[in-house]
Structure 1
Amino acid sequence: MTSPQQGLSPRQARRLRMAIAGCAMTAMAVVLVMQLGDGSSLRSVGLYGAAFVLSGAVIEMSRRGRTRLGMAVLVAGFVLLLGADWWLRGR
């Protein structure tokens, strides 16, 4: 008897991580449109633009099979972007 497979296959994990990055990109687009409607500053546009680039890079890394690295980059990048936003608002 063989034991049932645990966890996701590499292909399923890759697709899941691509979907997460795509959802993050969509959420950033919605927030950016709302910010621009409120007369947002250049700082906000720059931070959301960086988030778009970050999400796109993660999707491309996932397509090439670098899913774990892509998720690490996504998490670290969003933490840095949120920290930069908090730091810039405090000034």
Structure 2
Amino acid sequence: MAAPGNDEFERKQNFSLQWATSTPRERRAMLREQREQTAPQSTRRSYVLVGVFLMTAAIAGLVKAVAAKEPVSTIVLFAVAILFCGAMAELSRRGRTRIGFSVLVVGMIGASLAETFQR
């Protein structure tokens, strides 16, 4: 919660004052402007969540593979998948969403091809 004297509080207060005194057309413009400001932040958060979710799934698969005494190559592929998911989450957290997503896609394609060729 923003406290009085805080820049965020003043920004919200100014926004509500402008909202109360504006026409519907101006209100739509204000909402559009606010959505454009928060779009990168929400993209970063969603990419971090996707990376963490996929990493959790890969960890569960790794535990399952170890319990089933799968070959070492399968366990290594799960570890590589965990690495790429973690890289995506970290890069996205730092604002490098395109690079993070590219790393994940290329890594998963590589892991899939490696699994196909190992059989």
TM-score by length of 2: 0.68
Q: In 2, distance between residues paired with 1:75 and 1:17?
A: 13
Bigger helix fraction: 2
User: What pairs up with 1:1-91 in 2 under 5 angstroms?
Assistant: 1=25, 2=29, 4=32, 5=35, 9-89=39-119
Unmatched tracts of structure 2, length 5 or more: 1-24
Distance in 1, Cα, partners of 2:91 & 2:74: 26
Q: Percent identity?
A: 31
Structure 2 CA distance for aligned equivalents of residues 68 and 42 of structure 1: 32
Amino acid at match of 2:114: A
Using the TM superposition, give the Cα deviation of residue 35 of structure 1 relative to its aligned residue in structure 2, in angstroms. 1.0
RMSD over aligned Cα, in angstroms?
1.6
State the distance in 2 between where 1:59 and 1:36 align. Answer: 25
Larger Rg: 2
Q: Which runs of 5+ in 1 are unaligned?
A: none
Q: Distance in 2 between matches of 1:23 and 1:82?
A: 19
Structure 1 moving runs of 4+ over 2 Å: 3-6
Rounded to whole Å, the distance in 2 between the matches of 1:75 and 1:13 is 17
Q: CA deviation at 1:49?
A: 0.9
Query: What is the identity, as a one-letter code, of the residue corresponding to 1:68?
Result: R
Q: Of the two structures, which has the highest relative contact order with CA contacts closer than 8 Å and spacing of 6 or more?
A: 1
1: distance between equivalents of 2:105 and 2:52? 14
Q: Which SS does the other structure have where 1:39 is aligned?
A: coil
Secondary structure at 2:95 match in 1: coil
Distance in 2, matches of 1:47 and 1:36, equals 12
Give, as a single letter, the amino acid of the residue that structure 1 aligns with 2:65.
Q
